[in-house]
Chain A
Amino acid sequence: MFMKPPTAPLLAFVQQHRIALAKTAFIFLAMWCLLTPAPAASGYTQHGSAGTFTYQNDQHHNLQLPLKQTKVHLEITGDTVHSRVSQTFFNDRAANLEALYRFPLPDNATVTDMMMRVGKRIIRGEVQEKVAAQKTYEAAKSSGRRTSLLEQKVQNLFETRVANIQPGEEVTITFSYLAPLARTDNRYELVFPTVFGRRYHMQHSLENDAGESHYTLHPMDNTAEAPLVHPPLVAENANQHFVTLTATIEGIPAADILSPSHDIFVDQYGDRRFAIELSPVDNLPNRDFVLQIEPFIDEEPQLSLVQSQGHDGVHGMLTVYPPLEDVLGEERTPKDLVFLIDTSGSMDGQPLAQAKQGLKACLAMLNPRDRFNIVRFSSDYSSYTNTYDNADGAGLDGANTYIDGLASGGGTELQIALSHVLDLPESPERVKMVVVLTDGDVGNETNLLALVHQRLGNARLFSFGIGSAPNEHLLNRISEQGQGVANFLRANEDIGQVVAGFMETVNTPVLTDVTIDMTDLAGNPIELDTIYPGKIPDLFLGRPLRLLFTHHQALNGHIAVGGYLNGRWVQYDYAVQQGRSSRLPGLEKLIGAAQVKDLTAAYVTADYDTRPAIREQIVAIGLQYQLVTQFTSRVAVEERLEKQADGSLVSVRVPVMRRANALPATATNDFNMLLLACLLIAIAVPVSVLQHVFNR
């Protein structure tokens, strides 16, 4: 009789279930795939004097180096400001110093370029691919070089550290940054800080009184042991430092340009082009420079177009301010609001109380025609009603009772709850809005973003950050992905005020399905080469719509901005007559940054096979435009000019990078390793048992 080989049933089993086995193996593999951390903004605000260069003396007091000269050039194009600042300091000490330069930047500013000259040394910031940057840093560290240290990328502060400043040596720091131009009440306003190093000037008067006392200078920080004296402003005749400030305005149809703070000269070159200069008799660095630009308000809808001729085509920026104000009185579109409230253990106590209070305030401000639902989630989720309840007396009373009954406990499984909420029905005559109230203590960010991306439909997602340390990064990202806005309820804030602001945003008429059509002078449609953001976002009241584009030639003709406003189609037409385009280097960087933003969003939702390709694109753009992205970082590279035997100068590159980022990881991998070990044993045991069964 034929003897079955003992392995045959096992083989048959394997063959029959090979797909299931492969899937299981893949799941095990996938479990170990690590999620890539995302780049982000930590809101850091710096207050204080502008442009300081400080060092520490033997008593650890921070002292300032004297500033000799400040040159500022502001390029205002459309609604961005490209500022180039150059400051020269002087080491008037007898010692070799290490000093720290800091300059407060406006919100959302991006440093685009920096260069520093210390005697013969030139130090440049350079963007490299993250791994390459890390290698550069390690190489410099292992060879023991730490001659200078360069930091950037703290959100609102530009900081650079320089070592080995010889006595009598001059340090010139030149850097440029891009920032949006603030617009309030139909007026643009720009503030540039010019109160540089005024505490230094106090030193002169002190020296006059007290003679040689170098180290009796007053410390800069008010926490020092030495008594604090408020520095007096320097007398005008004793001033040694002057400010040179020039500005150009391009692409704004300005009716009036004025400075309430300083005397300025304004020259006009054509319709939308102006040059501004600070009057030489008013250049004392004793107050901030304020510039106000009033555009023609009869040119509604307002539109500003800036184009720059680059080597690879025309880069442009189009900003539209649709006149939504005139529809404010119209009846508002009824809404379906779903509140998703976090009742996990981390919300215990004050945060949950805050969330409940915020939720009640939101409900109280609903219109009678609106409908709502409340979904609580922790490890599981449950909802107030199955679909929606009317926001009238009975519905609200029931909801308030429901809210009072909420208690905290359990984990934070936002994903399943969010998925349920996004699947709730949408009705065509109502706007569906999801409001998440959470402290955001969740780890699976990428999955949440992908979920919102896939399931959002026509709904909008808003969020309220609750508690002492909400995960602002996550909330901002999912709200952006959800075409909404993130709000934060902080411990000391007036909840009513925050909620009122939020409800105003929610009630604002919104221009949806926005389209932009361009035609040339003869009426033929123009198809732009690329446009960012790829999906034109909806327009909230009073907020500008900004589009960046590239095209092979300058635009000339008509632009039509259209969209649905409360279900009604509206269109605004605008004529563009700009034959000339100039070169504005900042614009490419803005386009690069927009490209990176779009690609990063695509990266988050892409599957694993396409991610490397997107990553490469992001790195390429980061390197091309010198932008700090998720996959590129900035290293400081020092170029030292060395004199050769034949007398020629050669620049030697000395790479260095930051110090404190070398802090070690603050978690062990122990848990994962133990899990893996258990997993292997969990495989080994059934295999062994199966072998035993089949062999018998």
Chain B
Amino acid sequence: MQHTDPTAAVAPSTYRLGNLLASRWFPIGLVFASLLIAVRPVYHLTVRTVSQWQAERLWRERPRDQQLVFSGDPVAWLRHTASGLDTLVLLDGSEENLNRFPCWSMAGALPGQRGLKIILGHRDAHFRELGQIGHGDTLDLQTHSAAMRYVVDNIEIIDKENLGDHLMAAQDRNAVVLVTCYPFTYTGPAPQRYLIWLSPQNEPLV
């Protein structure tokens, strides 16, 4: 009986692919790679969860009398009861800060100053609920100096390239704008930004 080598008819590249698939190290390598990849998101989720636990304490123990504020300082508390948005806001929208909480962007006016105030947040984290906020809804924004109630007077979706120009052109010097990515369920870097424009309701709460 004549035996043929079963590997003889196989192209070298196919042979190598077969060897790779048959190797014990291949699945181990894959699992190892997946663990490496998962480290960063898991770290982010952990940081976010831990920050969430600390939020109340950070806000309670915020320094009251300091003259200077630094990146990452708690500067405000934003609340919209109907959608469940209830979060601390940090100063400076750096990536690190945004990972913990929504941030008060330094590109706009600072708390207490006049000018457009910009608050940024992740659409897949704290600002998930932004889609549920509609025209005429009221949001409470408490800063160190004042507690104000704001009314949603406009909701816009604009391309991310135009965001800077669009914010720069804003006329209302008392407005607050909440910015997050859009569409909310989009894989990869979303092409647009979702803007909620808030204007102060006339009487302050306190």
Contacts and interface: CB of A to CB of B under 8 A. Distances in A.
A665 interface: yes
B107 A662 contact: yes
A473 B158 CA distance: 8
Interface in A570-592: none
B52 interface: no
B169 A153 contact: no
B168 A14 contact: no
A659 B107 CA distance: 7
Nearest to A676: B37
Interface in B78-125: 93-95, 98-99, 105, 107-108, 113-115, 118, 120-125
B39 to A, nearest CB: 9
A327 interface: no
A221 B192 contact: no
A153 B165 CA distance: 7
Contacts of A668: 41, 44, 99, 122, 124-125
B202 interface: no
Contacts of B15: 11
Nearest to A9: B6
Interface string A653-667: 000001111111111
A658 B164 contact: yes
Interface in B162-206: 162-169, 171-174, 179-181, 183-194
A471 interface: yes
Contact of A684 (B11, B31, B40): B31
Interface stretch (A40-48, A171-179, A619-627): A40-48
A39 interface: yes
B30 interface: yes
A420 interface: no
A664 B38 contact: no
A679 B187 CA distance: 15
- Interface size bucket, B side? 35 or more
B30 A37 contact: no
Given A680-B30, A685-B27, A663 B168 contact: no
Contacts of A684: 26-28, 30-31, 34
B49 interface: no
B57 interface: no
Given A223-B174, A468-B155, A671 B27 contact: no
Contacts of B40: 670, 673
B157 interface: yes
Interface in A446-505: 468-469, 471-473, 491
A152 B168 CA distance: 11
Given A18-B14, A663-B93, A663-B107, A471 B157 contact: yes
A683 B27 CA distance: 8
Given A7-B18, A18-B14, A674-B38, A42 B158 contact: yes
A663 B22 CA distance: 48
Given A660-B168, A668-B44, A677-B37, A688 B105 contact: no
Chain A binding site: helix, strand, loop or mixed by DSSP? Answer: mixed
A154 B173 contact: no
B165 A7 contact: no
A297 interface: no
A6 B22 contact: yes
A681 interface: yes
A257 B131 CA distance: 52
Nearest to B127: A666
A663 B163 contact: yes
A194 interface: no
A469 B30 CA distance: 43
Nearest to A36: B191
A309 interface: no
Contact of B183 (A443, A674, A687): A443
13 contacts: A35-B191, A38-B159, A159-B168, A443-B185, A468-B155, A663-B93, A663-B120, A663-B164, A667-B189, A671-B124, A671-B187, A676-B37, A684-B27
Closest 9 CB pairs of A and B: A37-B191, A661-B164, A660-B164, A670-B41, A684-B30, A11-B18, A680-B34, A677-B34, A688-B27
Given A666-B122, A681-B34, 18 more contacts: A5-B7, A6-B22, A11-B15, A14-B21, A15-B11, A34-B188, A34-B189, A38-B159, A39-B159, A151-B165, A221-B171, A468-B155, A658-B165, A661-B163, A663-B93, A671-B187, A676-B37, A681-B30
Interface of B: 3, 6-7, 10-11, 14-15, 17-19, 21-22, 24, 26-28, 30-31, 33-35, 37-38, 40-42, 44-45, 93-95, 98-99, 105, 107-108, 113-115, 118, 120-125, 127, 131, 134-135, 155-169, 171-174, 179-181, 183-194
